Amino acid sequence: GAVVSQHPSRVICKSGTSVKIECRSLDFQATTMFWYRQFPKQSLMLMATSNEGSKATYEQGVEKDKFLINHASLTLSTLTVTSAHPEDSSFYICSAGGQGRQPQHFGDGTRLSIL
Amino acid sequence: AQSVAQPEDQVNVAEGNPLTVKCTYSVSGNPYLFWYVQYPNRGLQFLLKYITGDNLVKGSYGFEAEFNKSQTSFHLKKPSALVSDSALYFCAVRPSSNTGKLIFGQGTTLQVKP
């Protein structure tokens, strides 16, 4: 089946650091990727839709200057958490594909811990 | 507003017994329906989907789901649960007019006891 690779799986860093998370579709091209945030034992919250070659579409309440998304190729989207603070600590998950009848395929997530 | 509901936070079953995880939705038109499973500190794994056709959909790992249009439900089932099925399960719906976004239920933790 389709594979989505997300890296790194875990990040621990100091407050004020910027952190970049990569999401790659390994065996298919993805014009659209999605970035989610998940709090413990809760559902996924869609943060933004990443569009290849154009600006990302952010959900209401998500700061686009805080969470920078770049989708420069058909197989790679990146999420950069700028000047991260402890409240940004969370589990971030990306997905790719899922147009029409096809399911979205998810990465394994990134556990971000800001000290 | 469009929504997906999983009314049970947790479902407990004994190994070998049948299991059901419930999902209802409030989405206009003929949406696409999906079930995903999440193990701790992992992403979501696709289990099965309903597009059109038979109301009973078979998926991965012996799971199946029953679609009921009149009740707008898409319940996940398995005839005989395994301890390894213990995980967090999400129902998700994509409106047919949508560009790809999924609407997720809040998730149901399945606990299968030996």
Q: A2-57: per-residue pLDDT in tens?
A: 699 999 999 999 999 999 999 999 988 888 999 999 988 889 999 999 998 889 99
- Distance separating alpha carbons of residues A9 and A14, to the nearest angstrom: 17
DSSP string, A50-106: EETTS--EEPTT--TTTEEEEEEETTEEEEEETT--GGG-EEEEEEEE--TTSPEEE
Beta-carbon separation of B101 and A109 below 8 A = no
Cβ neighbours for B99, distance < 8 A, ≥ 6 positions apart: A32, A49, A99
Query: Which of A49, A101, A108 has its CB closest to that of B42?
Result: A108
Residue B51 identity (one-letter amino acid)? I
Does residue B49 sit at the A interface (CB-CB below 8 Å)?
Answer: yes
The one-character DSSP state at B99 is S
In angstroms, the separation between the Cα of residue B103 and the nearest Cα of chain A is 9
From chain B, the residues in CB contact with A106 under 8 A are 36, 43-45
- Would strands B10-14 and B108-113 be described as parallel, antiparallel, or unpaired? parallel
Q: Helix (H, G, I), strand (E, B), or coil: what is residue B52?
A: coil
Does residue B41 sit at the A interface (CB-CB below 8 Å)?
Answer: yes
Q: pLDDT tens track of chain B, all 114 residues? A: 889 999 999 999 999 999 999 999 998 888 899 999 999 989 999 999 998 888 999 999 999 999 999 999 999 999 999 999 999 999 999 987 767 889 999 999 999 999
